[in-house]
């Protein structure tokens, strides 16, 4: 399963705010277990959608200066309504402040005019080169993959050929979560990963 929980970015003001959508499909794997007779998007994945949206606003605001953007804290998380298959979750995130490597964000998710989720998030941004030997190679690869993914999420000015498959990094490249928290850390089979 790819760990990209956004389908399209509909509005972006880099470094300030973002609006994105996630259309929930009945074919998503986790719905078989959550819950078999009442499939709904798990709250933690709704929160991850908001985190991913906020991370894009941060990345674009600093022109991909940091390869890794992760959730460090979620405060005042309030769930209001379910997101069922066939519904569109609209996620908005507004950057409140930045202090060193930390960014404070006010975020919400809604289905139509009903609020599904609100939260205050703290995200941390950094480069792997600052934490591990040879991390600069990881940073370069992650930045390249993030730039490719961005052209899919927000394809402004890019014509799509008829029958062209939307993808990045080759036909079997994948986006995975590292420890379930770091959705920006990528591996790709195109480089011999699988």
Whole-Å CA distances, 192 to 169, 172, 187: 12, 11, 9
Report the alpha-carbon distance of residue 95 to residue 59 in Å, rounded. 12
10-13, long-range: CB within 8 Å, 24+ apart, which pairs? 10/90, 12/56, 12/57, 12/60, 12/154, 13/57
Cα gap 57→18, rounded to integer Å: 6
Active site residues: 34
Residue 171, both tokens: 């036909």
């Amino acid at each position: 399963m790819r760990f990209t929980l956004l389908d399209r970015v509909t509005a972006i003001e880099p470094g300030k705010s973002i609006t994105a959508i996630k259309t929930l499909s009945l074919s998503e794997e986790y719905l078989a277990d959550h819950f078999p007779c009442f499939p709904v998007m798990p709250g933690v994945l709704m929160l991850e959608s908001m985190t991913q949206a906020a991370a894009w606003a941060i990345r674009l605001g600093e022109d991909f200066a940091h390869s890794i953007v992760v959730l460090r804290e979620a405060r005042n998380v309030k769930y209001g309504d379910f997101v069922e298959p066939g519904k569109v979750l609209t996620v908005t995130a507004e950057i409140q402040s930045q202090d060193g490597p930390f960014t404070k964000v006010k975020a919400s998710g809604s289905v139509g005019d009903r609020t599904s989720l609100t939260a205050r998030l703290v995200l941390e941004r950094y480069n792997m080169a600052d934490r591990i030997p040879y991390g600069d190679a990881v940073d370069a690869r992650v930045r390249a993959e993030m730039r490719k993914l961005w052209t899919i999420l927000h394809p402004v000015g890019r014509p799509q050929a008829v029958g062209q498959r939307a993808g990045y990094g080759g036909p079997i490249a994948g986006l995975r979560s590292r420890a379930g928290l770091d959705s920006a850390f990528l591996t790709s089979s195109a480089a011999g990963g699988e």
